[in-house]
């Protein structure tokens, strides 16, 4: 009990010292951590892309020129089959589900930074495929939206993880919440872009230009390309570096993110906190593997044997 009490006292003392060094949370903390805020805001372009995709396609579906390329579905006639329209709408979320499912493994294996680059690349491939639907038709837009969904679904998982692991505790919640703000912003601008391009050539079939729906689709490539190029220069997550035994690099990244020297007390405290958490997770996983391994019955029997 004495050892446990001493450990708790040391932890409390370190926590109080860290709070004293950090200062208060709130807007002042965001100003103090402007470098991290800028990085998180940039990474949230991934959230803008997700929101834009969710909002943009509802307007495109109603455009007469787009309908002429999609074949045998009528978005207005209630008696017409809505199966094709349903697939065109929902296939993005199906791809996003798959992307979110895979992103956890990818982010841990190759880093949050490189996982974002892979997801953005997949997203851009999906957009290019969608653009070919002006010649290919329904199959291209369906495949393109599925692939695009994989990209934005992966980004919707990786970006909040990246932001939370780069942020100090006093602004972590605010920077993670930026993702939701970015999604809402993407939805908003998609509606206005659809509203404007819908009038290219007129709104009636035979007059409306294909560019009325191709422009909203292809515009996504711009911010996606900016995100891809920018992420190349972004730092790795300090937690990921520590978890993969790249401690000196993690210390340097932490110092750069906080705008402090590598030997600063606050940097050292945060570094040790992340390292302790990483060691705990590794130990928990190794014990779980031991108890659930092929010889788990013998292992459990050996552990319980001395207890009678």
Q: For 226-249, give the secondary structure using H, E and C.
A: HHHHHHHCCCCCHHHHHHCCCHHH
Domain boundary among 234, 258, 277: 234
pLDDT score for 239? 94
The reply to whether 230 and 241 lie within a common domain is: no
Residue 247 clears pLDDT 90, i.e. is over it: yes
**DSSP count for the chain of H helices, then E strands:** 16, 0
Domain match, 74 and 128 both: yes
**What pLDDT is attached to residue 219?**
95
Average pLDDT over residues 106-125: 97
Average the pLDDT over 218-238 and give the result: 97
Task: Give the residue numbers spanning the domain of 298.
Answer: 236-308
Pick the range with the lowest mean pLDDT from 6-20, 95-109, 121-135, 241-255: 6-20
Shared domain check, 189 and 245: no
Domain membership flag for residue 159: yes
Does 12 map to a domain?
no
Assess contact for 253 and 236: CB atoms under 8 A. Answer: yes
Q: How many domains does the chain have?
A: 2
Q: Which of 217, 234, 251 is the last residue of a domain?
A: 234
Residue 241: which pLDDT band, with cuts at 50, 70 and 90?
very high
Per-residue pLDDT, averaged over 229-251, amounts to 95
Asked if residue 258 lies in contact with residue 264, where contact means CB atoms within 8 angstroms, the answer is yes
Q: Which of 29-33, 94-98, 199-203, 284-288 has the lowest mean pLDDT?
A: 284-288
| DSSP string covering 12-28 | HHHHHHHHHHH---SHH
Is residue 74 included in any domain, yes or no?
Answer: yes
For residue 287, what is the DSSP state?
A: H
pLDDT digits (tens, 9 = 90+) for 79-110: 555 777 888 889 999 999 999 999 999 999 99
User: Are 147 and 191 members of one domain?
Assistant: yes
| Predicted local confidence at residue 145, as pLDDT | 95
Say if residue 308's pLDDT is above 50: no
Domain final residue, candidates 200, 234, 268: 234
* pLDDT recorded at residue 285: 63
Which pLDDT score, from 0 to 100, does residue 238 have?
95
Give the tokens for residue 97.
Answer: 């589900």
What's the average model confidence in pLDDT over 284-292?
Answer: 58
Say whether pLDDT at 288 is over 80. Answer: no
Q: pLDDT grade, residue 295 (50/70/90)?
A: low
Asked if 230 and 256 sit in the same domain, the reply is no
Mean pLDDT, the chain, whole residue set: 85
Mean pLDDT in residue range 145-168: 95
- Co-location of 95 and 57 in the same domain: yes
**Tokens matching residue 65:** 């020129």
Q: For the CA atoms of the chain, what is the radius of gyration?
A: 25
- pLDDT, mean of residues 69-74: 65
Q: Name the residue with higher pLDDT: 202 or 256.
A: 256
Q: Please say whether the beta carbons of 29 and 171 come within 8 A.
A: yes
Distances (CA, A) of 122 to 103, 149, 167, 232: 12, 9, 27, 16
pLDDT at residue 290 greater than cutoff 80: no
Question: 153 and 56 in one domain?
Answer: yes
CA dist., res. 229 & res. 261, Å (int):
28
Q: What pLDDT does 164 receive?
A: 94
The alpha helices in 2-111, defined as continuous H runs, are: 2-22, 27-32, 34-43, 45-61, 64-70, 83-110
If you average pLDDT over each of 28-37, 119-128, 194-203, 279-288, which comes out highest?
119-128
Q: What is the pLDDT of residue 303?
A: 45
Say whether pLDDT at 202 is over 70.
yes
Q: Looking at the domain assignment, is residue 294 inside a domain? A: yes
pTM, two decimal places? 0.84
75 in the same domain as 165? yes
Same domain, 90 and 169: yes
């Amino acid at each position: 009990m004495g050892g446990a009490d001493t450990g708790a006292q040391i932890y409390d003392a370190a926590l109080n010292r860290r709070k004293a060094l950090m200062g208060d949370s709130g807007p002042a903390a965001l100003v103090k951590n402007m470098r991290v805020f800028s990085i998180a805001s940039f990474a949230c372009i991934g959230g803008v892309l997700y929101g834009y995709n969710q909002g943009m396609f509802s307007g495109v579906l109603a455009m007469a020129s787009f309908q002429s390329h999609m074949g045998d579905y009528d978005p207005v006639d209630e008696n017409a089959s809505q199966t094709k329209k349903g697939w065109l709408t929902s296939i993005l979320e199906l791809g996003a589900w798959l992307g979110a499912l895979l992103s956890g493994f990818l982010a841990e294996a190759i880093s949050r930074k490189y996982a974002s680059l892979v997801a953005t690349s997949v997203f851009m491939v999906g957009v290019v495929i969608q653009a070919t639907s002006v010649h290919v038709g329904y199959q291209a837009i369906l495949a393109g939206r599925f692939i695009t969904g994989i990209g934005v679904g992966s980004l919707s998982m990786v970006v909040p993880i990246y932001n939370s692991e780069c942020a100090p505790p006093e602004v972590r919640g605010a920077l993670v919440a930026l993702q939701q703000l970015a999604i809402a912003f993407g939805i908003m601008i998609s509606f206005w872009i659809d509203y404007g391009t819908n009038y290219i050539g007129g709104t009636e079939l035979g007059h409306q230009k294909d560019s009325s729906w191709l422009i909203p689709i292809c515009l996504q490539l711009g911010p996606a390309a900016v995100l891809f190029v920018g992420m190349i220069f972004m730092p790795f997550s300090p937690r990921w570096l520590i978890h993969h035994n790249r401690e000196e690099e993690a210390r340097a990244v932490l110092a750069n993110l906080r705008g402090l020297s590598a030997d600063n007390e606050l940097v050292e405290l945060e570094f040790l906190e992340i390292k302790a958490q990483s060691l705990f997770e590794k130990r928990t996983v190794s014990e779980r593997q031991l108890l659930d391994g092929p010889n788990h019955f013998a292992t459990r029997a050996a552990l319980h044997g001395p207890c009678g």
